[in-house]
Amino acid sequence: MRETLVLNASFEPLAAVSLRRAVVLVLQDKAVVEREHAGLRIRAENLDLPVPQVIRLCRYVRVPFRRRAPWSRRGVLVRDQHRCAYCGRKATTIDHVVPQSRGGGDTWLNTVAACTADNWRKADRTPAEAGMELLTEPFEPTPADALVLALGLRDEQALGWEPVPA
Ligand SMILES: [Zn+2]
């Protein structure tokens, strides 16, 4: 998969994102193409774009997590796309996999999005003790993920365009 370098509005490099994400940013007028691949275009119905090698955000985005994203409740919900890690339904709360009362911290790897019912059912227990299974493992977002979160992009918007010879 081709990657595109994303520069901040100030020209400071932020992260490499997938070509698809880069195209979404350009199509949403959130970024402009600074450098394109010679001889390649992205063509689809109603779409004809250069293949971006470097894009620059139109608006300066404060990205305080160049290396490591700071943990936040909202960040966990966004990372998990507001889906409960135990049942897949809509999540509005954060569950500590190892409960806080047992020393589990506010970290990316110890928290998942959870629906109210599952959060209540699990209570002060580990998933094993509660007989509950995590559908997905919590992960620490990469700088590219963090950028996508900061920009409010969703993966569904990254449709399957492939570059073709111009
Ligand atoms: Zn649930």
30-56: average pLDDT: 89
Q: Are 55 and 31 in contact (CB under 8 A)?
A: yes
Going from the Cα of 92 to the center of ligand 1, the distance in angstroms, rounded, reads 10
How many whole angstroms from 122 Cα to the centroid of ligand 1? Answer: 10
Phi-psi region of 5 (alpha: psi -120 to 50; beta: other; left: phi over 0): beta
Residue pLDDT, tens place only, 62-85: 765 556 677 889 889 888 889 999
pTM of this structure = 0.59
According to DSSP, residue 90 is labeled B
DSSP H or E segment with residue 143: helix 143-151
CB 124 within 8 A of CB 130: no
pLDDT band of residue 116 (cuts 50, 70, 90) is very high
H helical segments located in 2-103? 19-27, 73-79
- pLDDT, mean of residues 5-11: 90
Domains contained in the chain, CATH given: 3-64+146-165 (no CATH), 73-130 (1.10.30.50)
Lowest-confidence pick of 9-18, 104-113, 114-123: 9-18
